[in-house]
Amino acid sequence: MSALVGEELDLDLCAEEYTRARLDAGPAERERLREDLIRAAMPLAGRLASRYRGRGEPAEDLEQVARIGLVKTVDRYDSDRGSFTAFAVVTIRGELRRHFRDHTWSVHVPRRLQDLGLEVKRAADALTARFSRPPTQAEIADFLGVEESDVRAARTSLAGYSSESLNRRISDTDDTEIGDLFGALDPEMAAVDDRATLADLLLRVPRRDRRMLALRFWGNLSQAEIAEQFGISQMQVSRLLSRALTWLRTAMLTDVVPPWPGETDEPGVRMVVTSAPGRTRIARLHGEIDRDNASELRVRLMAALSTGRPSRLDVDLSGVSLLDAAGMRALMAVREIAAARGVGLRYTGVSAYLEQLIRATGLGVLLS
């Protein structure tokens, strides 16, 4: 190798000489020529490696990686590709960048956690072999003589070891990027909570107003058509719908459900809740409890259990004239919810007919 430019070798001329000389050389001579070219280009590999110092990797490792890239350059070089030097720079830089991608931390993590993270990984492998199962954090901490919180932090830090670009293609033959595989927010799923809340609130709307809402927004009837069905004016329908929608909107945006702004005028069951000494609440029911209003009654009794955090709820059934199977299921559900919340619950003012039904369903212990 005698091609000099100033005090340095012209690597492109060296590569041309190497290409010509190896055409007629035997195996041993080709190997010698290859080693000569590699040796001549070593300073270039060293300069490229030095540009990546100070990034957390030892200089010796970087130089070794750069030399591997240089060997690949010599073995893959084809004079038809153009400049040997340009090809070497691209290949060696690629090897260095691949090294950082595969062997270094993508997110800055304190050195102590980096070291502990690797120790945790080795300890987990050793304990898995010993126990024939994955070890717990406590077992790893005991094995290493550290706190569980340190093991937890070290494991979390391991997530910063390498990262993946969301723009990377999933394969060489597919243009799909990793980011394309992430699902978008489903509007239907996002609305599940709102729909569940709305369904609960609608049960608290008086039956007449609830039916008007259903006819308007599910039946697509005009206000005039609704007015004709109820025998009232279109202006009254407009006012009632506006009141119901305003109340629903307010209730959806607050943690505490506001009271209904008007009279219920319900033909079914009515409930009046009062307070008594000792954090006791009394719910007095009047009317018939059947499948048409059982769900609404359950919701209203649950609200009475929650409001003011009472220690006991007395449900006065003296004003109830009818109680069907749906009503009994509602009372059973309220009993279970009260027990789960630690609230005492009993049913009072029960007629002989209702008492027989209540005892048959297992609620007899709650009767006074």
Task: Read off the pLDDT of each residue in 6-15 and give the average, rounded to a whole number.
Answer: 71
pLDDT tens-digit readout, 201-242 = 888 888 888 889 999 998 899 999 998 887 778 888 898 899
Tokens, residue 125: 């492998």
- Confidence label for 262 from pLDDT (cuts 50, 70 and 90): low
pLDDT tens-digit readout, 280-322 = 999 999 887 877 788 888 888 988 888 878 899 999 998 887 7
Return the domain boundaries, the chain.
4-103, 111-163, 189-252, 269-366
Task: Read off the pLDDT of each residue in 93-118 and give the average, rounded to a whole number.
Answer: 72
pLDDT of residue 7: 44
pLDDT of residue 197: 84
- Answer whether residue 105 shows pLDDT above 70: no
Buried b (16+ CB within 10 A) or exposed e, 314-324: bbbbeebeebe
| CA atoms within a 13 Å half-sphere pointing along the CA-CB vector of 273 | 17
- Answer whether residue 267 shows pLDDT above 70: no
Right CATH number for 269-366 from 3.90.550.10, 1.20.1270.30, 3.40.50.300, 3.30.750.24? 3.30.750.24
- Answer whether residue 183 shows pLDDT above 80: no
The rounded mean pLDDT for the chain is 81
For domain 111-163, the question of CATH label 3.30.420.10 is answered with: no
pLDDT tens-digit readout, 46-90 = 998 888 877 667 888 889 999 999 999 898 888 776 788 888 888
CA distance 353 to 321: 9
Look at residues 346, 333, 282 and name the one whose alpha carbon lies nearest to residue 310: 282
Q: Which of the 8 DSSP states describes residue 101?
A: H
Tell me how far CA of residue 65 lies from CA of 82, 87, 266, in angstroms.
Answer: 24, 16, 83
Contacts of 22 (CB under 8 A, 6+ apart): 29, 30, 33, 34
pLDDT of residue 349: 87
- Report field, pTM of the whole predicted structure over 0.75: no
The sign one gets for the Cα dihedral 245, 246, 250, 251 is negative
pLDDT of residue 360: 76
Q: Determine the topology of domain 4-103 in CATH.
A: Rna Polymerase Sigma Factor; Chain: A (1.10.1740)
Look at residues 49, 52, 54 and name the one whose alpha carbon lies nearest to residue 66: 49
pLDDT of residue 6: 38
- Confidence label for 159 from pLDDT (cuts 50, 70 and 90): low
Percentage of the chain beyond pLDDT 90 is 15
pLDDT of residue 14: 86
Is residue 230 within 8 Å of 244, Cβ to Cβ? no
Task: Read off the pLDDT of each residue in 131-159 and give the average, rounded to a whole number.
Answer: 86
Strand blocks (E) in 290-337: 312-323
- Answer whether residue 364 shows pLDDT above 90: no
CATH class of the region 189-252: mainly alpha
Whether 4-103 and 111-163 share one fold: the answer is: no
